[in-house]
Amino acid sequence: MHGTGVPLATPFDDSGSVDHDRLRALVDWFEASGVDFLVPCGSSGEAPLLTADERIRVIETVAAATDLPVLAGTGHEGYEPTLETTERAAAAGADAALVVTPSYYGPDGEALADYYRDLADDSPIPIYLYSVPKFTDHALSPRTVASLAGHENIAGIKDSSGSLESLQRLVRLTDDDSFAVLVGSGSVYAAGLATGAEGGVLAMANVVPERASEIDRLHDGGEGDAARARNADLVELNRAVTAEYGVPGIKTALSLRDQPVGLPRRPLRSLDTDSKRDLEATLAAALEATAET
């Protein structure tokens, strides 16, 4: 996995079931927008609110609809359900598995290292670590990650800490062509690429996939200043669909871009009128600032 990945929003129909037709249309839109790989059943896809069977059907639909690499979210709180979902995801067509850190019982770094090492031993597809302290209240330390980077079936990490220091340490401590550091926060995408990250999995790429992809293309083309400027134009939008409004914000913004994906699942709630108005203005400003592309 390298370049810009999209942690796909999961579309629901009026009855609250997964809308697979809309999911296929969303995949087509992302492909046409120039993204490099797709990430179904991640945080932006409401994975914790999907049943195990729903997750597999989402992964299967995405894998069948695209020629892009598929990095499927398969993490649960326990080892056995995570391994089972990973095996089923592989059978459904996923190329690799993105596994969030278990958090409920607060395992320490050594326990998490053992967990990932054992999972990688048993998994039929490569494992990507997923550190998202906003949701788990635990950040995988760069040294723990470094201890795992040499495993032949651990292919990388998505670091959603938003910390440039963390990204820099991860890149330096896992200096290995077989291990990829992926930026998980859109606000530091260009800066993360400049430190040596291979790409990113960005919530804002749901909403502006063509703009997010351009950041990586500019960086790869040696236009670092332009990449950082483009990223700066999208910082407020990124904040709106992550820290401020989260999944309901992503779904609202997608509808504003003529890509309706239905309502979020309970206990999440749709945005109120004032919030929708604020998000619409933020999106319009971001699109205007990047209109030349």
Report, as residue numbers or ranges, the catalytic residues. Answer: 130, 158
Is 201 known to sit in a ligand binding site?
Answer: yes
Tokens found for residue 177: 């062509």
SS (H, E, C) the chain: CCEEEECCCCCECCCCCECHHHHHHHHHHHHHCCCCEECCCCHHHCHHHCCHHHHHHHHHHHHHHCCCCEEEECCCCCHHHHHHHHHHHHHHCCCEEEEECCCCCCCCHHHHHHHHHHHHHHCCCCEEEEECHHHHCCCCCHHHHHHHCCCCCEEEEEECCCCHHHHHHHHHHCCCCCCEEEECCHHHHHHHHHHCCCEEECHHHHCCHHHHHHHHHHHHCCCHHHHHHHHHHCHHHHHHHHHHCHHHHHHHHHHHCCCCCCCCCCCCCCCCHHHHHHHHHHHHHHHHHCCCC
In this structure, are residues 250 and 207 in contact, taking their beta carbons and an 8 Å threshold? yes
Measured distance CA(200)–CA(182) in Å, rounded: 5
Phi, psi of 288 (to 5 degrees): -65, -40
Rounded-to-integer distance, Cα 33 and Cα 273, Å? 29
Q: Which residues are annotated as a binding site for pyruvate?
A: 201
Q: Which residues are annotated as a binding site?
A: 201
